[in-house]
Amino acid sequence: MPNPPYAVEPTTFRFAGLAALAGRSALGGQREVALAAYLVARLAEDTLPDRGVSQPVRLERAVHAKNWLATLALPAALRAGLAKLVEASGGEPSAAAAAATELTRLATGFLDARARAELEQLIAALQACSDINA
């Protein structure tokens, strides 16, 4: 049955697996990692040209994201991987792809299969964009 003409189009939710993992995890540990991964994944996705987010805006957002990440209790290695992806989000998709690959490897023990799959899909999209622009 088609939607009535006054119906609102359904919205898509980026990285629903990461958000769901954060929502069902207990406070601390896995929840903070999932929230941080969700944030940096959204920032990294915005390096794609079709997202329409300019580099100056991405750089400003990266500064604020670093400040927010500093407030979380995260394992040191994971904190470094998250920070690297935040920094890469101000640049090109190829840098974001490399940083996201490293983060996915570091966060494997904290993320479920659906969250890891979303990060892997993000990496593939970033790499595809890099290949097109090369």
String of b and e for 10-19 (b: at least 16 CB within 10 Å)?
A: eeeeebebbb
20 exposed, middle or buried (CB, 10 Å; 0-12, 13-18, 19+)?
middle
What's residue 132's pLDDT?
76
* pTM greater than 0.85: yes
Instruction: Decide if pLDDT at 13 tops 90.
Output: no
DSSP string spanning 24-40? Answer: HSPTTHHHHHHHHHHHH
- For 97-118, the pLDDT digits (tens) are 999 999 999 999 999 999 999 9
Domain boundaries in the chain? 16-133
Percentage of the chain lying above the pLDDT 70 cut: 99
Task: Name, in order, each residue with C-beta under 8 angstroms of 124's C-beta and a sequence gap of 6 or more.
Answer: none
Instruction: Decide if pLDDT at 12 tops 90.
Output: no
- For 27-59, the pLDDT digits (tens) are 888 899 999 999 999 999 999 999 999 999 999
